[in-house]
Amino acid sequence: LLQMGMQALTSKDYVRASDHIQQSLELNKTHATAWRMLALSFEHQDRLAEAFSAYETAARLAPDDVAILRSVAILAGRLGHRQVAKRLLQTFLERSPGHADVTIQLATILRDEHQYADAIALMRDLITKTPENATAWQVLGSIVEFSGDTAGAMVFYEEALRLQPDFPKARRSLATCLMLQNDSQRALEALQLAQAMATEVKDVANLY
């Protein structure tokens, strides 16, 4: 049943995958990998609450599996469980320090909670290790901007764009800062460039 579920996952038939995996769990409810597969199939069906529950079960059954921990944390963030996500992300980084995506996600949560100093410290440490990470520079810029330092934020957005010129979110963020500084002509140019770069639906959504 698990093999059939995996085959369905591979072929992107997520409904059939979840059916097979749930049948397998009726025979063995302590199989962490099965719970993780079920969570993944639910996530692809946009059944996020069920996916979160399945990931939580997988994490309880395999507490040392940092990949499962990361999946739970990311989905907790998507569901708005900010404190749960923060705690899980911190635990993940204690076990696997330096993970870029997880560090960025944790810093974003800290930013949204106005813990700017802690968020900046996280991002500065990450950038020291991975200075070519354009997303890290963009997120650092957003933290500085949220703290009220528009001019300082622009420096980081510009560095993100130097590393990745076709980065629509960084371009849109730069446009916002230029607008706040009353540089309307450059702001309009940056916004138009950002919109032209946003070729996918997720890119357009991330502009705002």
d(CA 156, CA 149): 11
Under 8 Å between Cβ of 173 and 141:
yes
Q: Which string of b and e fits 39-49 if b means at least 16 CB within 10 Å? A: bbbbbbeebee
pLDDT higher than threshold 90 for residue 205:
no
Residue pLDDT, tens place only, 77-128: 888 888 888 988 888 888 888 889 889 989 999 999 999 999 999 999 999 9
| pLDDT, tens only, 39-51 | 999 999 999 999 9
Q: How far apart are the C-alpha atoms of 141 and 119, rounded to whole Å? A: 11
Helices (H), 45-183: 48-61, 66-78, 82-95, 100-112, 116-129, 134-146, 150-163, 168-180
67, pLDDT greater than 60: yes
Model confidence at 197: pLDDT above 80: no
Question: How far is it, in rounded angstroms, from Cα 38 to Cα 19?
Answer: 9
Apex CA 156: angle with CA 152 and CA 160, to 5°?
160
Query: What's at 32, amino acid-wise?
Result: A
Characterize 132-163 residue by residue with b for buried, 16 or more Cβ atoms within 10 angstroms of its Cβ, and e for exposed.
Answer: ebbbbbbbbbbbbbebebbeebbebbebbbeb
Helix (H) or strand (E) segment spanning residue 21: helix 14-27
Centroid of chain to Cα 66? 16
